[in-house]
Amino acid sequence: MSHRLDRVRAALAEQRLDGLLVSDGFNRRYLSGFTGSAGMLAIAPAAARLATDFRYWEQAESQAAGFEVIHAPRDPGEWFRVLVAPFGGRRLGFEAEHVSVAQLGRWREYLEAAPSGQRPELVPVSGLVEALRAIKSPDELASLTQAVALGDAAFADVAARIRPGWSERQVAWEVERHIREHGGDGISFSTIVAGGAWGAMAHARPRDVPLRDGEGVVIDMGALAAGYCSDMTRTIYLGEPDPKFREIYDIVLTAQLAAEEIIETGMGEDTAHEIAHRVIREAGYGDAFGHGLGHGIGLQVHEAPWLRPTSSAPLREGMVFSIEPGIYIPGWGGVRIEDLVVLEDGHCRVLTRSPKLLAG
């Protein structure tokens, strides 16, 4: 983890900060390796500290190599003051997106009880660690690839067996069962299964409703392996696809393949989104594609980058993200096709291997 701390310290220097408090659990794990559910990091140019409670002292000593583990006492004010004491009189950043107004108020109350020389200036910081997490290391990419392969295998197993009469909930369970029985830590998010008209809702929850012959089925699923997530969507058809389904499916597939072919390193996130949206818009369904083209993935199933019309940051080498255009028509249903890709040598390399347009 030392190279990750070096990158944090370089970012702190750029923002003229003397240290950073890390309270978000995913950021804490990324920087320290500590997987416990409670704790806080304090990172300085020449030191790194992890405060956690009695439940995790042994675990923290084992996992957080290079960190001084502080045995936090029961009183939260006391251990917070101990953690930040070395930053007295200096600028100490905190993760603004992950700290509530109430929590910040408590921290300030705790500091009022400390000697004036041990009170840092708390400075809000936005997205510092998340920006570092967006670029995947070779080890992270290996873990992601493992999760993707597990998801592909789960989908292949279920797609080969799914039949009219299965409920949406049964399909979701079969996906999860395969992942858990084949070494996964579980699903990376609640599986979406949506048959027929239910597929018009992009984030539909699976129901006990039976699937029927002659309808499309949207399956959006992911596996969790070695702490990393996968995410993949396929839309299948039970029976022989009708002309309407083929029309919508072909438009979405064309949009997705175009994006995977054209997106390149340095392109703005909004420009990447527009590649797929233009295809769908010119086919007459622009209003039926209302979400962003994709999102980053890693320790979380949704993280930077964000491929959407309101985000213009450049895509960078080593980023892993989804490409998932869709068309959703109320009363009819929906089609979404999603792969994960990694930016390598300036272009997208597709990680997802599940075939497309599987017929039941």
> How high is the pLDDT of residue 117?
87
Each domain of the chain, given as residue ranges in start order, spans 2-133, 138-350
320 close to 305: Cβ distance less than 8 angstroms: no
> Rounded mean pLDDT of 15-32?
97
Cα separations in angstroms, 324 against 10, 262, 346: 34, 14, 20
For residues 130-136, average pLDDT = 97
Distance of alpha carbon 96 from alpha carbon 99, whole angstroms: 5
Q: Above 90 in pLDDT, residue 79?
A: no
What is the DSSP-derived secondary structure letter of residue 301? S
d(CA 226, CA 329): 37
What is the percent of the chain with per-residue pLDDT over 90, rounded to a whole number? 92
- Contact yes or no for 14/125 (Cβ under 8 A): no
Contacts of residue 143, Cβ cutoff 8 Å, sequence gap at least 6? 225, 226, 227, 228
What integer is the mean pLDDT of 209-220? 97
**Averaged pLDDT of the chain:** 96
Q: What is the pTM for the complete model shown?
A: 0.95
Nearest CA to 25 among 98, 84, 94?
98
Name 25's Cβ contacts closer than 8 Å, sequence gap at least 6. Answer: 37
Least confident of 68-77, 96-105, 123-132, 153-162: 68-77
**Segment 222-234 mean pLDDT:** 97
Among 105-119, 153-167, 261-275, the least confident range: 105-119
SS3 283: coil
Q: Tell me the fold of 2-133.
A: Creatine Amidinohydrolase; Chain A, domain 1 (3.40.350)
Ordered DSSP codes for 125-164: E-SHHHHHHTB--HHHHHHHHHHHHHHHHHHHHHHHH--B
Smallest CA-to-CA distance from 263 within 209, 216, 219, 325 is with 325
Residue 176 to residue 187: CA distance in whole angstroms: 6
The CATH number that domain 138-350 falls under is 3.90.230.10
> What's the pLDDT score for residue 118?
87
Q: What is the dihedral of CA 9, 13, 15, 18, to 10 degrees?
A: 80
At 72 the pLDDT is 79
Q: Are strands 91-95 and 19-22 parallel, antiparallel or unpaired?
A: parallel
Amino acid at position 305, single letter: P
Is the pLDDT assigned to residue 360 strictly greater than 70? no
- Average pLDDT of span 318-336: 98
pLDDT in tens, 52-78: 999 999 999 999 999 999 997 778 888
pLDDT at 304 over 50: yes
**Amino acid at residue number 351:** L
The enclosing H or E element of 69 equals: strand 68-71
Calculate mean pLDDT across residues 12-36: 97
pLDDT at 359 over 80: no
* Model confidence at 235: pLDDT above 50: yes
Please report, as a single letter, which amino acid is at residue 230.
S
Q: What digits encode the pLDDT tens for the residues 161-208?
A: 999 999 999 999 999 999 999 999 999 999 999 999 999 999 999 999
